Chains A and B, each alone.
Chain A
Amino acid sequence: MIAHTHPYPAIEVKALSKSYGEVRALDGISFEVGRGELFGLIGPDGAGKTTLFRLLTTLIAPDQGSASVDGLDILADYRRIRQRVGYMPGRFSLYPDLTVEENLAFFAALFDVKVRDNYDLIAPIYRQIEPFRTRRTDKLSGGMKQKLALCCALIHRPSVLFLDEPTTGVDAVSRNEFWDILFNLKAKGISILISTPYMDEANCCDRVALINEGKILEINTPQAIVEGFGETLYALSGEDMFGLLEAARRDKEVRRCYPFGETHHLLTSPGFDPRRFAEALTATGFCGVSVRPVEAGIEDVFIKRMGNG
C-alpha cells in the first residue's frame, strides 16, 4: 500500500508548548515518529498526553512551537491533515444509542467512504464484533467498544493513527488482543501514535517517550531505555512485606525503596552489600529475606526519572 518512500516523517514535533491558564500542559516538547512506526507516549494522567493529541489532530492550536503530521503543518494545512488521520479520543467516541453497524456506517459517511471500500483493513477486527452488529453500542462490553471505536477510526484508511489511551480501564486479556491488532496495522504500513498509563505496554512499542507534567523525560526504544537505567537494581522479598519496606527505608545505604509486584525494588548507594543487608534484616527478626539483583523495567526508569525531576 505504501510502496513509495515518504520524504517526511509521520509526525514531527518541535518545541511544542501549550498552557491552560496557569497550567503548563505541554512544555517545549520535541520528537519524531517515523513512517510505519509504533510510537508510545507513556505517562500518568495529567502528563499532557491528551493535549498533545489534540494539537496533532488540529483540534487546538499551540502557544509556541510547531508540528507537522504527514508532512503537513498543523496550523496551515489542518484541513488536509484531517483527511489523513484516524483519531480515537480517550473516551470511546461512539454514539451509544446507535447500533454497531449504524456507528460504523456513520463514520464511513463522515469520511465520504463506503464501509466495503476499506473492509479488508478492518475485517480482522470487525469480525470479532460482527455477531453483535445490530446491538446498541451502550450494550457492548468495554473491550468490544474499544474494537468498534478502532474500526471507526480506521474506516477511511488513515496514514497516521492517533490512539489516546485506548487500553485504559480494559482488562489485561483484552489489552493483549488490542496490541495484537495494532501489530497487524503496523505491518500494513500505518504509523501509530499511542498513549498509555500502563508502563508494561511500553515494550510493545518500537520507541517510547516517557512523559510527565508536560515534559518528556526520555525518548528511546524500550530496550535502550531500560539499558540506560545505569545502576544495579535489587529486589527484596520476605514474609512481612510491609515491615520490610519500612526497615529497608531506615537503612543508610538504601536511597530509595518502593513496592514492585511481589518484591520491593531498592536503589542503593555504591557501598551497598546485598548479603550483609539481608543478614541484618534477618537478625532483626524478618523471615525468608531474599535480596538479589534484578533487571530494571520501564516503570523503574520512570520512577527514577520522576524522583530526579
Chain B
Amino acid sequence: MGGFMSFVRKEALHIVRDRRTMLIVLLMPVVQMLLFGFAISTEVNNIDFAVVAPKHSEAIRQQVERLSVNDYFTFKGYISPQATDELLRQGEVDAVVVFAEDYDRRVNAIADGYPTGPAIQLVFDASNPNVAASGAGYLQNALQVGGTQHLPIETHTMYNPQMKSAYNFAPGIMGLIFLLICAMMTSISIVREKETGTMEVLLVSPVRPLRIIVAKMVPYFLLSCINLITIMSLARFALEVPMTGSMVGLIGISLLYILLALALGLFISTVANTQVVAMLISGMVLLMPVIMLSGMVFPVENMPNILQAISYIIPARWYIEAMRKLMIEGLGFGAVWKEFVILIAMTVVLVTIALKKFNDKLE
C-alpha cells in the first residue's frame, strides 16, 4: 500500500501547490453560504402595514402594538376601509390588516369552541408574489404566536416559521459545491495529465488504472468533507438552522453524494481530452441543470411536466430534496430512504460506466 499512499501524496501536493485554486475551493462554500444567507435573500424584512379597525378594542390595540414592535413590520397608522385599495396601489403600504367588526366576540367564540368566521383579514399587494407570500406568512404567524387565543387564520408555513431563505438555499449550495469540487476538479486533474503527456507514462506502468483513479479521488473526497463540515457549521451557527433531523442520515447522504460527484468527474474525464472541454462539460452540462432543475432556485413542483421529468435524472435534485427534509424539516432517516436508494443506484451506474470507459490504452 506504500505505492498507493505516494499517489495520494502526489495528488495532494498538486492541490496544495495550486494555492489559488485551493483557496477558492475552501472559501467558495463560505462565501456562497453567507451570500445566499444574508445578501441575496428572498426574505422579506420590512413590511409596511396599515390597520383597518372599525372598533378600537383593547384586544386589537394589543395586536397592533405587538406587530409594531416586531422588527419585520412597520406600523403606518389606522385607515378607513375605503382607503385600502388606494394605499396598496400607490405602494404606501405592503399590507393592510383588517380586523372584523365584531373582533372581540369572534375571538371569544373561538376560545369557547364555537365555529365562527375569520376574525382578521389580510390584504396584500401581490405584485411581488414573493413579498406577498412570505409577508402573509410572517404576519399570520406574528398574529398567532403573539395572541393568547387560537385565531382562525390559516397557517401555510409549518416549517421554517421565520421563512428565512438561507434555510432553503443551504441544501442547494451543498448540492452545487460538491459537484463543483468533485466533478469539475477531478475531471480537470485527470484530463490535465492527458494534456501534458504524463498520462502516457502512468499508463505504461504496471499500476492498474483503478488505483491511479482512486488515489486521485481521495484528496478531493477529503476536501469535500472539510467543506461539508464548513457548510454545516455555518448553517448551524451563522444562519441558525436548527438541524434537528437525523445527523447520521445527513452525513451519510452527503458522503454518498460526494462519491457520486467523484464518479461523475471520472466519467467526464473519459469523454474530454482537454481541460477546457472538461471545464465546459462540468460547467454547462452539470451545473446549469443543477441550478435550474434541482429545485435550488425554482421549486420543482412549479415546473412544466417535461422539465420535471428531466429533473428526475439529476442527482442533485434528490440530494437537495433529502437535505431539505433532514436539515430543515428535521425529519428522521426514514423520511429519505427513497432518495437514498435512488442516489445509490445512480452512483453504481455511473461508477460502472466510468470504469468501463476508462481503459488503460490511449484510444
Contact = CB atoms under 8 A, between A and B. Distances in A.
Interface of A: 54, 57-61, 79, 82-83, 85, 87, 89-91, 93-98, 102, 105-107, 109-112, 152-153
B18 interface: yes
A61 B17 CA distance: 36
5 contacts: A60-B361, A61-B361, A82-B206, A87-B204, A106-B10
A147 to B, nearest CB: 16
Contacts of B362: 54, 59-60
A98 B206 contact: no
Contact of A60 (B7, B197, B207, B363): B363
Contact of B197 (A58, A85, A90, A102): A90
Contacts of B2: 109
Interface string B346-363: 000000000000000111
A201 B203 CA distance: 29
A107 B201 contact: yes
Contacts of B65: none
A107 B204 CA distance: 11
Nearest to A136: B17
Contacts of B82: none
B200 A97 contact: no
A93 B200 contact: yes
A153 B204 CA distance: 10
Contacts of A87: 200-201, 204
Interface of B: 2-3, 6-7, 10, 13-14, 17-18, 196-198, 200-207, 361-363
Interface centre among B17, B198, B204, B207 (most CB of A within 10 A): B204
A87 B204 CA distance: 7
Contacts of B3: 109-110, 112
Contacts of A79: 206
A111 B361 contact: no
Contacts of A61: 361, 363
Contact of B14 (A97, A109, A110, A112): A97
A59 B200 contact: yes
B14 A95 contact: yes
A153 B2 CA distance: 20
Contacts of B198: 93-95
A58 B361 contact: yes
A98 B10 contact: yes
B17 A111 contact: no
Contacts of A82: 203-206
Given A82-B206, A111-B205, A93 B197 contact: yes
Contacts of B18: 97
A109 B204 contact: no
A42 to B, nearest CB: 22
A60 B360 CA distance: 9
Contacts of A94: 198
Interface centre among A54, A79, A105, A110 (most CB of B within 10 A): A110
Contacts of A153: 201
Contacts of B361: 58-61
A82 to B, nearest CB: 5
A93 B361 CA distance: 17
Contacts of A91: 196-197
A102 B362 CA distance: 26
A82 B196 CA distance: 20
B23 to A, nearest CB: 16
A285 to B, nearest CB: 54
Given A95-B10, A95-B198, 11 more contacts: A54-B200, A57-B200, A59-B204, A59-B361, A59-B362, A98-B14, A106-B7, A109-B6, A110-B207, A152-B201, A153-B201
A60 B14 CA distance: 28
A105 B3 CA distance: 10
A109 B13 contact: no
Contacts of B197: 89-91, 93
Nearest to A86: B204
Contacts of B7: 106, 109
A90 B13 CA distance: 25
A272 B114 CA distance: 129
A273 B201 CA distance: 56
A61 B14 CA distance: 32
B9 to A, nearest CB: 8
Nearest to A54: B362
Nearest to A111: B205
| Most central of A59, A79, A102 by chain B CB within 10 Å | A59
A110 B11 CA distance: 13
A90 B196 CA distance: 10
Contact of A98 (B13, B201, B202): B13
Contacts of B14: 95, 97-98
Contact of A102 (B13, B200, B206, B207): B13
Nearest to B15: A97
A95 B11 CA distance: 11
Contacts of B201: 87, 89, 93, 107, 110, 152-153
